[in-house]
Amino acid sequence: MNKPIMAKGTAVWLVDNTTLTFKQIADFCGMHELEVQGIADGDVAAGVKGFDPIANNQLDPVEIERGEKDPLYKLRLKFNPAAVGEEKRRGPRYTPLSKRQDRPAAILWLVKFHPELADSQIAKLVGTTKPTIQAIRERTHWNISNIQPIDPVALGLCRQSELDAAVHKAARKKAAEGGLMSDDERRKLVSTEQSLDMAPEPRLPTAISGLETFSLTRHDDEDEDKDLPDADSFFNLPGSDDEDDDETGQGHGR
């Protein structure tokens, strides 16, 4: 590990119990020098209990002595065999509670613009589960009618470098399997800036959902082809034979 566990508590303990410089403590704890200075002034980490790195087998006392004698000396974290491979821990990405409601929008964006990504890659990028991804793919998600696709990078769910690496890996895998991307799939490989400038997709009202095959627009060409009856035709009705006989009889009488 590059920094000790409970780094802020360790910095509090080093500030209170040693004469190390702020720069030495900041480098050891993975913090900024001004943040360590704020701890010393009481403006930062108020109420945080100090965490002894010596008692917790993270730092040798000899390192502290060397650092106190030489301000340019950099403290070295004590080797802990139990921490080997901890940074490469596998599993879904942790997503803060404030951003979990944005995951469906990010999944829909990835499914739409990067269909070459596997469900496992999307789950790793966004920190979700495969059933949720499958539900959004099949549009069976309970809130699918209200979900708008949003770039996960813009939402802060992953970094652009991670997304690019996943896309390139999926493209290489598809090329190795002998599959070529279609023109539509190639056009969907857009950047973050382009995806943010895109207009949202038009949606049908829920009252007429399922009637996508019907057209709601008026076709002028079809209307022009139809022969509309003239208004005079409603009044110039053809006369019957009885009427003709009556008119003829009246003429003879005169």
pLDDT in tens, the chain (254 residues): 467 888 888 999 999 999 999 999 999 998 888 988 888 888 887 778 888 998 888 888 999 999 999 989 999 888 766 555 545 555 556 666 667 788 999 999 999 999 889 999 999 898 888 999 999 999 999 999 999 999 998 888 888 888 888 989 988 887 787 655 555 555 555 555 555 565 655 555 555 555 545 555 555 555 555 555 565 665 565 555 555 555 445 544 44
CB 148 within 8 A of CB 200: yes
State the CB neighbour count (10 A cutoff) for residue 136: 25
CB-based contacts of 3: which residues, under 8 Å, 6+ apart?
28, 29, 30, 77
Instruction: At 227, list the tokens.
Output: 């022969």
Entry pTM: 0.40
CA distances (Å), origin 13, targets 9, 51, 53, 125, 178: 6, 6, 8, 36, 58
State the CB neighbour count (10 A cutoff) for residue 13: 22
3 state SS of 176? helix
